[in-house]
Amino acid sequence: MKSIIFLLLRKAIYYTSGLCPRATKAVIGSNQDRFSDNAKYLYLHWQNTDFIRSIWISGDKELVSQLRGDGFEAYHRRSIRGIFHCLTAKYYFYTSYIGDISQYLAKGATKVNLWHGSPLKKIEFDIISGPLATTYQATDLKNKLFNSLKYHQAYIKPDIMFSPSPVMDVLFSSAFRLPTSQIHRSGNPRTDYYRRYPEKKQSITQLFNQQYNQVILYRPTWIDSPRDAKISTKRDIGRQAERGNDQKTEKSAEQSSEKNIKPNKRYIGGINWQSLSTQLQENNQLFLIRFNPSQAHLAKQLKNYANIIDISHWQDIYNIFHEIDLLITDESSLCIDFLLYQTPTIFYTSSDVRKDETSKTAASTLTKPSTSALLTQTETKTETENSHTKSDNYDYVDNLPLFGIGHSKTLDNFEDLLTKLRSDNSFYISAEESQEYKQLTQLFWPEQLCDAFDTIEKQIGKISNKTKVPQQECRANTTPP
């Protein structure tokens, strides 16, 4: 009963906030109270240009203190000034949900979701399988109304989104239930920032005080699990939803994961870390690990291996993109951002992990009543595996050059991965593959007339009479990252 009262009260506060007058200023925030992603780079750009008063909002006191120490305007979301600016800002810019800033006080503001990737896996209201499906899928009006209360942030539509290509237009329109008229063609601030400010790039040699022959980034994608879904729900219906970076939540997540071997097996298993470390030393290669924040604690087990460094705690890694020689991932959409740098990519998921996930998916299906009961067990497993893949990924993914199912860039054996890392050819795009990389780049990153910052500012100019971008100031987005 208390939970229902809280959910109703939250909605009431949200709609009441719409009565507050809004001034021409922007509040900006990012997922899990980190200073990261598109929101970070838009904020830094506006701090440099003073285009509009921009204020960073976060639940992380240390981050707020750090930003203010750097001379930027930032406030804790539950401070008096933070609440005031959340109530009176005309624009909300965020990377995931309005709770990146304030889920209670956003009504009446123009909500701009900058999002945080170009999806390969289905997102938001396109999700039809896995633990998160219950958040977005409801069979009747009663469940839809309840979901909109329980998962408040997920059901608040943005007013504006930006998409780098026609492919993303369609996906964002479907996933966020938006008409295409509210989706505008643009690159991302996180990738366009270093076109504008190339001097902000950083050198890995200087960061780690050592020079390497090659730098390899290992970036497995985040896989939603029942544990993660429960944590997400608790954050959404309690005070942690306004904070996201709560230390108790992180500690409980770590303890929970120790009891649940699946995350450990997926992210740590499948790689012989000692053998990898030995080979890296022999070839003077650096292996950077970048786990999702939800699994970042797993990298603590790898801290004693030479030439393997965990950078999961970094706010983001776009400042070193230009120095990554090879990306290894399972299916992270980060590979799409790396297309701008023409960085070779290897897709790796160990066969043991694939078998484990397939068997668990099949077992889950077989325990439920099904119209396929007449199928043999083998047929059912095959059907389950195929449907699982299709339901998790968007349909277009299987047919992509390089990234598609069964391509030569896909590995499931650790020894094969080691062989690839020993070969200099793995760190270069061959003449045969160059055309496929170009096709992918054109698909996801067609040339834009303006960079992300000018495009965003033009949209603000159309809304606000006080803030406009002269046409002649538009900067073509054609220079290499």
Q: What are the two backbone dihedrals, phi and then psi, of residue 310, each rounded to the nearest 5 degrees? A: -85, 125
Q: Which residues contact 65 (CB under 8 A, 6 or more apart)?
A: none
CA 454, CA 459: separation in Å to the nearest integer? 9
Between CA 56 and CA 68 the distance in angstroms is 10
Tell me the C-alpha distance between 223 and 25, whole Å. 36
CB 271 within 8 A of CB 302: no
What count of Cα atoms within 13 Å lies in the side-chain half-sphere of residue 34? Answer: 18
Give dist(CA 72, CA 472) in Å, integer. 29
**pLDDT score at 376:** 38
Give the bridge partners for 121, in sequence order. Answer: 393
What is the reported pTM?
Answer: 0.84
pLDDT of residue 465: 67
The amino acid present at 143, given as its one-letter code, is N
Instruction: Note the pLDDT of residue 411.
Output: 85
CB 333 within 8 A of CB 119: yes
Query: What pLDDT, on the 0 to 100 scale, is given for residue 1?
Result: 65
189/51 Cα distance (integer angstroms)? 15
In the chain, which stretches have pLDDT less than 70? 1-2, 222-267, 352-391, 404-409, 465-481
The closest alpha carbon to 265, from 298, 232, 294, belongs to 298
CB atoms within 10 A of CB 407: 12
d(Cα 234, Cα 246) in Å, to the nearest integer? 12
Where does residue 244 fall: left (phi above 0), alpha (psi -120 to 50 degrees), or beta otherwise? Answer: left
The length of the chain, given as a count of residues:
481
